[in-house]
Amino acid sequence: MEPVKAAVIYYSATGTVHALAEAAAEGAEKAGAEVRLRKVREQAPADAIDANPAWGAHLRETADVPEAALDDLAWADVVLFGTPTRFGTPAAQLKAFIDTAGPLWQQRRLADKVYAAFTASSTAHGGQESTLLSLSNVFYHWGGIMVPPGYTDPVQFRSGNPYGASHVAGGGSPDDIAREAARYQARRAVDVATALKAGRAA
């Protein structure tokens, strides 16, 4: 059987979600997947970016990360979306990418894949769950197979988020627990996709 294909598609302004995306890509690779790590296109105006030096710095640091394309969605068996929390919802940049997926949806090419999502917020009760739940609405519409981490691994009791890996960015960069939770979430999604792929091939 060909390896499961996993696309980690994220938006990050200042690097937090990027760090989680890298950890998710590691986890997916360790689980045996072929992985594409992709950022979505920046859409913010230059003056907004210039007003936050960390934002511009992160953009420059990740200039070599390929931009997500619809082909990445079509290619993948597993899609892991990462986004900062923006007023309790996903970032507009990620939503803008998702909103280009109409043609794939019409052709039913987004259905039956495994989906999961991860996020960051500044504060502990700043809307991580609502952001992840908001993305799950998209997965319902696509006919996706949602694979949340739940409390299926000891790291989940330490990270504390059964909806998806997450980090409170106000406390600094993702710590070992947040990164491990992102690795675990990706591993679990790939494991489920591997079982599905084997079952479908049988």
* Interface residue list for ligand FMN (CB under 6 A): 12-18, 84-88, 120-123, 126-127, 169
Report the nearest approach of ligand FMN to the CB of residue 128 (Å). Answer: 8
Bridge partners of residue 34, in order along the sequence: 5
Shortest Å distance, C-beta 140 to ligand FMN: 23
Cα 187 from chain centroid (whole Å): 13
Closest contact distance (angstroms) between CB of 54 and ligand FMN is: 8
Nearer to ligand FMN, 4 or 21 (CB): 21
In this complex, which beta carbon is closest to ligand FMN, that of residue 32 or of residue 53? 53
Q: Whose Cβ is closer to ligand FMN: residue 15's or residue 27's? A: 15
**Residue 58 C-beta: closest distance to ligand FMN, Å:** 7
* CB neighbours of residue 26 within 10 Å: 18
- Other beta carbons within 10 Å of 28: 29
Cβ 195 to ligand FMN, closest distance in Å? 31
Residues in the chain: 202
CB-wise, 18 or 197, nearer to ligand FMN? 18
Least distance CB 36 / ligand FMN (angstroms): 19
Cβ distance to ligand FMN smaller for residue 12 or 194: 12
The residue of the chain with the least Cβ separation from ligand FMN equals 126
How many angstroms separate the CA atoms of 22 and 20, rounded? 5
- H-state helical runs in 107-148: 128-142
Query: What does the alpha-carbon distance between residue 118 and residue 53 come to, in Å, rounded to a whole number?
Result: 24
Q: Which residues contact 197 (CB under 8 A, 6 or more apart)?
A: 1, 2, 4, 77
Evaluate whether 131 touches 89 at the Cβ level (below 8 Å).
yes
Between 84 and 149, CB nearer to ligand FMN: 84
Q: At what angle do helices 176-201 and 16-30 cross, to 10 degrees?
A: 40
